[in-house]
Structure 1
């Protein structure tokens, strides 16, 4: 499932390989963008990637997020089991990077 939306003037591109994301995940993405917006007002675009690596008992979920800002973009990725905690961990990593950029 892939979709693109304009959220508060920010182009949001979500890609999930062989996965369907529910409204709850989409809401989490929007609240993540709200949180990131507190640390910089210059976000142009956000790309979010959801995918599963491996198969069977060794499968692991991966969430990555790239935030387009003037200058070098910031990117973070996290691996684990559940989408929402992974997304929150990725946002925390991005917040740390945005604080360094300021």
Structure 2
């Protein structure tokens, strides 16, 4: 599932390989953008990719989150089991990077 949306003037591009993203995860993506916007008003774009690796009991989920801002973009990658907590972890990492760049 790939989709693009314009949320509050920010282009969000989501890529999920071989599966669909639930409505709850889509809402969490928007909430993540809102949180990041509190730390920098200059977000141009957000690229989020969801990927699973392995099969059966060795399946690992990977989430990558890139935020396009003036200057160098910030990026975070998280591995885990559930998408929503992984999104929150990625946003926390991105917030630390944005605070460091101020």
TM-score, normalising length: structure 2: 0.98
**What is the number of residues matched between the two proteins?**
102
| Residue 10 of structure 1, CA deviation | 0.2
RMSD: 0.5
| Residue 54 of structure 1, CA deviation | 1.1
Matched residues in 2 for 1:22 and 1:57: separation? 22
Matched residues in 1 for 2:67 and 2:27: separation? 17
Name the SS for the 2:71 alignment partner.
coil
Q: Look up the match of 1:87.
A: 87
1:1-102 aligned at under 5 Å gives the runs 1-102=1-102
Give unpaired runs (5+ residues) of structure 2: none
TM-score, normalising length: structure 1: 0.98
Write out the 4+ residue segments of structure 1 that deviate beyond 4 Å after TM superposition: none
Give unpaired runs (5+ residues) of structure 1: none
